[in-house]
Amino acid sequence: MLTQEEDVDAHALHRRGWTISAIARHLDKDRKTIRAYLNGERAAGVRAPAGPDVFEPFVTYCRERLTEDPHLWATALYDELAQLGYDRSYPRLTHNLRTRGLRPVCHACRPTGGRPAAVIEHPPAEETQWDWLGATRCRVSRVNSQVGGRQCRMRRS
């Protein structure tokens, strides 16, 4: 694949009379690649697809299932698709759901639902919140924190 800059250079050198072999050596690319760009068979910055889209047969099923139940877990959908012949991984499924926008927006689950949210001002050094883990054994032997400008050391077991 050629970048936009390399494509412009290849066309400029070709107009100057350079051979395809000379352009390929200059840009450190294969002759067939340069020839394809000069003939207009390929476009700069656009990758050729690696193969057929294996998720395409499942798009309508996913759209229908997620429209029917927007809260359907992706793991449940993955199990259904596996029974229908989907042979890719779970992360590939979630990637396809995100990039294709197949999961509809649930307005009831949105945090504010379009309502104005209250913004509470918290000036620096006015408030401090401590969240402690209620574990009996902590892997960290010492927790260091800055309180009131001095160093405090608390020992956890």
- pLDDT tens for each residue of the chain, 157 residues long: 899 999 999 999 999 999 999 999 999 999 999 999 999 999 988 887 888 999 999 999 999 999 999 899 999 999 999 999 999 999 999 999 999 999 988 777 766 656 666 677 777 777 666 666 555 555 554 444 444 444 445 555 4
CA atoms within 13 A on the CB side of 74: 13
Per-residue pLDDT at 113: 58
| Euclidean distance between the first and the last CA atom of the chain, given in angstroms as a whole number | 57
CA separation for the pair 60, 63 (Å, rounded) = 5
Per-residue pLDDT at 147: 47
Per-residue pLDDT at 48: 78
Per-residue pLDDT at 112: 61
pTM for this structure?
0.50
Find out whether 38 and 20 touch, Cβ atoms under 8 Å. yes
Burial of 101-121, coded b for 16+ CB within 10 Å and e otherwise, reads ebbeeeeeeeeeeeeeeeeee
Per-residue pLDDT at 46: 84
CA separation for the pair 65, 74 (Å, rounded) = 11
Q: At 142, is the secondary structure helix, strand, or coil?
A: strand
CA separation for the pair 3, 55 (Å, rounded) = 29
Q: Element (H or E) spanning 76, and its range?
A: helix 74-83
Read off the DSSP letter of residue 29. Answer: -
